[in-house]
Structure 1
Amino acid sequence: MKQLTTPYGELTLDRYPRTTDKNLQAWDAADSYLLNNLHERGELGRVLVINDTFGTITTAIHDSDVTLWSDSKLAEIAVEVNYGHNLFPLHYTFVPSTELPHGRFDTIVIKIPQTNAYFDDILSQLPLLMHEKTQLVCGGMVKFWTNSWPQAVADRIGHSDCSLTWKKARLIFSDGSQLPAKQKPIEQASYDVEPLDMTIRKLSNVYGQGYLDIGARILMQELVPFDDVEHIADLGCGSGELGLMALKMNPKANVEFIDESYQAVLSAQENVAANLPDCLDRCRFTCNDGMINKPRSLYGAILCNPPFHQQQTIGDHIAWGMMQQARRALSNHGELWLVGNRHLNYHVKMMRLFGNCEQVGGNKKFVVLKSIKQPQTKDSSPVRPSESTNGASQQSPYGAARRNSKK
C-alpha cells in the first residue's frame, strides 16, 4: 500500500491484485491531474467515473454521489478494497460495462482506456447519460496519447478541447451543450476461426479485435479430448474460442467460461449461442477474478491463455496467480493446459506448482505446456493476497446485480 496526496485528502491505495514490485502504484499522473481538475470545479453533482482501474478517482471523491462504470471485475474489487483501506463506507454504485447506468449525470470522468474501440464505444453511449450542462473530462498519459482521442470526443459529443501537459499527462474537455442528434453505430468485430469452423464476434474491449490470438490458435491445435472429464474451465476465456473447442471435443462435459472482463464473458456467451446453441445447457459464464471462490478439486481440465499485462504494466503476476488458482481448483489427475510466450519461462512456475510440466506443442515464439495435479501432492500451494479475506466481495456470476450501497 502507498500514500497519495490529493486535494481531497491523503489516501491509502493499493493495486489489485497485489504485486511484489514496489515500483508499481495504484495511480499515475493522469489520475492526479483529473482529481486536481475535479476539485477546482467544486460541486460535482451526480458523478459517473469510467475505467477507474484501481478505484483511485472513485475513492478520492467518495463524498460525492458516485457511480463507477467499468468492464473489469478486478477494478470492481480494487475500489472496494481501497474504500476499506481508508475506512470509507461503501456508498457508491457499480455498473458493469455490459449494462447502461441509470439516469443522467452532472459530471463524467473517463480514464482513457488503452483500447481505442472501447473508448469510442463508451463515448457513443454518453449522450444517453448527459444533459446540456453535463461536464466531461477525460485523462490519459502523454506516452500513450493519440490525436484520435480528442477527435473521437468531438465526433461523439460535439466538440473537445485539450489541456496543456502536466507531469506527462493531458486532459480532454467537453460538455453536453452540442450533443449530436445521431450517433454512428458501433461495428462489432468479427472473424472466421478455421479450427472451429465458426464465426466469432467480440465486444469492443475484448482482446484481439478482428483476429484469433495466435497463442489461442496454437493451443487449439494441440488440444485432445479429455476422457471422462465432467468439468472443464476456459480460464481467461476472452471471446471463448478455447471453451468452444472444448465443447466440440467433449460432448458430455460441462464448460465454464471465466474472465475478469464483463464484455469478454458476454462475448463468449453470445458466441456459444450463435455457434453451438444446443450446448448452452452445458455452459456457465462467470465474470470473476480467475478461479477465486471456485470449489476445490472440481475441474478435470483447465485451459488457459493468460495475459502478460495489466493495463500498460507488463509482467507475469497475473499468469502466476491464475496458475495457483488452477492448481487449487483441479481434481486429482486434472490437467492444466497453458500457452504463453516462450521467453516468459512459464514451465519453471508450473514445475514448481505441480512437480511436473510437459511441453506438448508450440513454435519459435509460443509454447504449449501441460501439468497434471498429482494426488499425493497436498493442496496447499501459496495463494496471492487476493484469495484471502480482504473485505472484497468476490462473488461474480454472469449477470450479477450491480452494487448499489448508496442510501
Structure 2
Amino acid sequence: MLKRISFFSAFLLVTLACGAGTTQPTDLLTPEPTPTDVIFPTPTPEPTVPPTATEIPPTVEVSAPIPQEGYGPDNFPANVNPLTGLVVDDATILDRRPVSVKVNNYPRSNRPQWGLSLADIVYEYYHNNEIPRFHAIFYGQNASQVGPIRSARLFDDYLVDAYDSILNYGSADFRIRDRLAASGYGNRLVVLLEGSCPPTPVCRYEPAVLNYLVSDTAELTKWVTNLGVENGRQNLDGMAFQDQVPAASQGQVDRVYIRYSYAAYSFWEYDPGLRIYYRHQDTREDIGGAGEGYALLTDRLTGYHIAADNVVVLIIPHFYNHYQPPSNGTPAVEVVDMNFVGTGKAYAFRDGQSYELEWVRPTDGSTIYLQYPDGTRWPFKPGTTWFQVMSDLTLLEKVETVWRFQFAIR
C-alpha cells in the first residue's frame, strides 16, 4: 500500500549542495573476491516460462502505421515521439520536458521495480562498488509509480543535458551534488526525501516496512511547472527510426549478455515472434562456483516483463573522479565519471540482428544518435531503447549467435 508521509522540501539541488559532510556513494556491496582467469563463466540460465499475451509490453503494438521512410532524425510530426518514433494518442503529452528517474536494481529485494516498462529510454551504467543502476526517461507516456528511487551519479549530468529533462533522484555524494548544482539546471532537479504527498510528487511506499521512494511522472511534470520552470516541448532531434530492418548487419545475435561484475549481470534474449528483446536479470552472486542464475525482470506496476525494441551497448571511456581504496574492511569509495561527448564505438541489436556502429553526441546539449562507419545515420526500430553503458576496457566475446560483454574499469 502506498502511504504518503512528510517530506522536507529540498527541491533545488543547490540547497542540498550546501550540506556539509564527506559522504561516500551509497549501496556498497562486499568487495569482489580475487578474480579467476575465467572472463565469462558458463551461464546457467534458469528455466523460464514464455511470456503470455497479457505480459507483452505496450510498445509491441504500434498505434499507427509507420511510413516506409520512417521518422527523424528531425522534422518529427507533432504527434510523433522523437525518442521512440511512435505516434502518441495525445500530442499534448509531448509539450513538456522528458522526466528522468533514477531507479535502483540492488539489493535484489528492490525488485520488481515500478514503471520501467513504461519508459521510452533506459540507460544502465556502472555506479560504484560492482553495481550499476537505471536512468529511466519518460516522455511519450507517464507512469503513476516509478521506483525505488535512489541517488545520482556524475553520468546523470550528461543525460539531463542531452534530453533537457527533469531529474528525480534521492541524494548523492557531495562531489556529485556540487557538479549538478553548478550545471545551470538546478531548478529541474527534484530531490524530495521528506514532506507530504500530495502536493509533492514523491512518496514513500510502505514506510513502516519497505520505505521505498517512488514518484509519479505526471505529478513531477506538474510540480516543476508550478514552480515556474520553463517546461515546454524541447528540441529532441537526433534519433532516426525505420521499421524496415537495416542493411549491413554483422549477423544474427539471439542473446546479448551484459556483465558488470560477479554480482550484477543480465542478458537480453530476442523473441522473433514479437520482434523484441526480453530482459533476464541476475538472481545470485556468481562466486564460489555458484555460476550465473537468471529470472525474467518484471514491472511491479504493469505486470509486464521488461522488454526493449532496441538494445544498444555504448562504449564510453570511464575514469575515477575520486577513488579511495578499501581499508580495514571498509569498501572502496568510487566516484566514476565518463566522457560522453564526441564519438565512440557502439553495438546495436534490433530484429535479431547485430550492428557495429559509432555513437555520436556532437555537443554537450545534443541527444545521441548512431551512425555507420561511413557516417550514414543508423535507424532505430520504432519503440523503446535500452542503452547499456560499458567502458572502453570492456571485453567482448562472440560465440555463434551469443555475444557477451564484460565490463572493466581498472
Fold shared by both chains (TM-score > 0.5): no
The higher radius of gyration belongs to 1
- TM-score where L is the length of structure 2: 0.28
Q: Structure with the greater relative contact order (CA < 8 A, sep ≥ 6): 1 or 2?
A: 2
Instruction: Specify which structure has the higher proportion of helix.
Output: 1
